[in-house]
Amino acid sequence: MGTFETLRANVGKFDLSSKTLLMPEMSRAGSRLFVSAFRSFGITVQLMETYTGLHLGKQLTSGKECFPCQVTLGDLLAHLDKEKARLGTGFRPEDYLYFMAEANGPCRFGMYNKLHRIILDSVDGLSKTRIASITSKDSYGLGGLMAPEARQDFRRTGYLVLVIGDVLDRILWRTRPYEKEKGLAEAHFEESIAIMSQAVEAHGCRKRFRPILETLGNVARRARSVIDPAIPPKPLIGMIGEIYLRSHRPSNQEIIRLLEEHGAEVVNASIAEWINYVSYENMRNDRRGLIVALRRGDPGALWRHAKSWLFHATEITYQYLRQRQVYRRVRRHLPVHPDHPIGHLERRLDSDRLFSFDIGTEACLSIGGALEYAAGGFDGIVNVFPFTCMPSTMTSAVLKPVMDRLQLPYMDSAYDGAFQPNREAAVRTFMYQAHQHQRERLARGASPKH
């Protein structure tokens, strides 16, 4: 089978019901909860151990790929090697589906699953392992993966657990810099993931969200006991950048913990931000399509775009409703930082004429997110991304002069798997500036917006 034929035949939407789904890890909390959501719907799924097969990923790539592509490829090959060893002659590569989503637009993420497919076809015995993929083109629709009656329920449960994963991360970042005893916040985080995973698996398929949210409220209430109220507020650092690198702790070499060790409290951009952006962007594209159809007098196109616009508008309204519901439940007990609506980011970009949603990519989210942090009284911005990442390089080019004008400390942090000896020196310098910014902010009587 030729390259193009195998990409068509072995990458796409395949029925999950009779296969074992292999899930790569990105955000520790979000990935584990997402796996629990799949299990709640009767899908057999394995969350692959991460960052143990990086040598395999690098061995079979050229080095020009986006770093997360190498990480996820290594995770897959290492996991399948372990499955071969575990099952022996009972190992059947066709029993597995590897989950790798994709996105539209000028970003290499859309090519991960294509390259993974080519490499699987070149490795002995793995050509029959297919790749299950969903795409941003249809807002990550599940057609072909699940039975029609389960798709909408899973989308709603899946979105809820991604937001809960974001909130568990924010609980960790809110408590760890102020913990009474070293290790308490991390222990609470791991315990919380286990508790929430059980709740999601028990209630997710029936959309019984109330007990899930009640469990989350209990988790947030217990998190308060971790905090030592005598520790004064620390400089608040906002993190932006490429979604995988800023979320995957091994790949970014625990950059949040390193910043905390030098006196920071960090808030990272959420995973839900990207899902909201995809729905918002599809709605935006349909609005443009409606205008074009009206000008051309094309009733067929007008009707198609109107239906699609209504679907995406309803979708993002639902997502914001659920997101606010989750954050409200947690903020009753702990003042974690809320998330921002995507339309608000677009208005910030438009008002400053710095960038445009017409260009797309994560750059519009990162630039808009940095402006939100700046307006919210943060003391510094960190841009985390894979080495040579195009959207994040654009972000850096736009933000550096802007942050300089705002006199807000800014740091780029690029990764390719190598350990840079000057990383800690750069963090020390950045955090010295952030401490100065905090002192000046407090002298003016300004406080961050929670």
What pLDDT was estimated at residue 360?
Answer: 79
Tokens of 192: 């919380």
Residues 6+ apart with CB under 8 A from 198: 36
Residue 166: which H helix or E strand, with range? helix 148-175
Tens of pLDDT, residue by residue over 273-297, are: 999 999 999 999 999 999 999 999 9
Question: What is the three-class DSSP state of 307?
Answer: helix
Buried b (16+ CB within 10 A) or exposed e, 133-169: bbbbeebbebeebbeeebbebbbbbbbbbbbbbbbbb
- Pairwise CA distance, residues 159 & 192, whole Å: 18
What mean pLDDT is predicted for residues 111-137? 90
CATH 3.30.2010 fits 3-145, yes or no: no
Sequence-separated contacts (24+) of 439-443 with Cβ below 8 Å: 441/377, 441/379
Distances in Å between the Cα of 363 and the Cα atoms of 74, 386, 394 are: 27, 13, 7
Whether the per-residue pLDDT at 6 is higher than 90: the answer is no
Round to whole Å and give the CA distance between 167 and 270: 9
Specify the pLDDT at position 153.
93
How far apart CA 111 and CA 98 sit, in angstroms, is: 15
With bands split at pLDDT 50, 70 and 90, how would you rate the model's confidence at 1? low
Q: Each residue of 58-70: pLDDT tens digit?
A: 999 988 889 999 9
Which residues are CB-neighbours of 348 under 8 A, at least 6 positions away? 368, 371, 372, 375
Domain with CATH 3.40.50 in the chain: 3-145, 233-270+339-450
How many CA atoms lie within 13 Å of 5's alpha carbon, on the beta-carbon side?
3
Q: In this structure, which topology does domain 233-270+339-450 adopt according to CATH?
A: Rossmann fold (3.40.50)
In the sheet where 236-241 sits, what is the strand order?
A: 265-268, 236-241, 380-386, 410-415
Has residue 38 got a pLDDT over 60? yes
Average pLDDT over residues 230-249: 97
CB contact burial 172-207 (16+ within 10 A = b; e otherwise): bbbbbbbbeeeebbeebbeebbebbbebbbebbbee
Name the nearest CA neighbour of 23 among 49, 51, 61.
Answer: 49
Is residue 87 predicted with pLDDT exceeding 90? Answer: yes
The pLDDT value given to residue 3: 62
Which amino acid, 283? M
* Average pLDDT in the chain: 93
SS3 category, 2: coil
d(CA 203, CA 243): 28
CA of residue 429 relative to chain centroid, distance: 28
Q: CA 434 from chain center: how many Å?
A: 26
Band of the pLDDT at 9, cuts 50, 70, 90? confident
**Which H or E run includes 98?**
strand 96-99
* pLDDT for the residue 296: 92
Whole-number pLDDT of residue 263: 97
Question: What are phi and psi for residue 268, nearest 5 degrees?
Answer: -95, 150
In eight-state DSSP terms, residue 179 is B
Q: How many CB atoms lie within 10 A of CB 219?
A: 25
Q: Is 280 in contact with 309 (CB distance < 8 Å)?
A: no
β-bridge mates for residue 384, sequence order: 241, 413
| pTM: predicted TM-score of the whole model, two decimal places | 0.94
Lowest mean pLDDT segment, chosen from 143-152, 181-190, 208-217, 378-387: 143-152
The answer to whether the CB of 223 falls within 8 A of the CB of 63 is no
**What pairing do the DSSP bridges indicate for beta strands 265-268 and 236-241?**
parallel
β-strand partners of 132: 12, 99
Quote the DSSP letter at residue 176. G
Q: Kindly tell me if the per-residue pLDDT of 40 is higher than 70.
A: yes
CA distance 192 to 212: 12
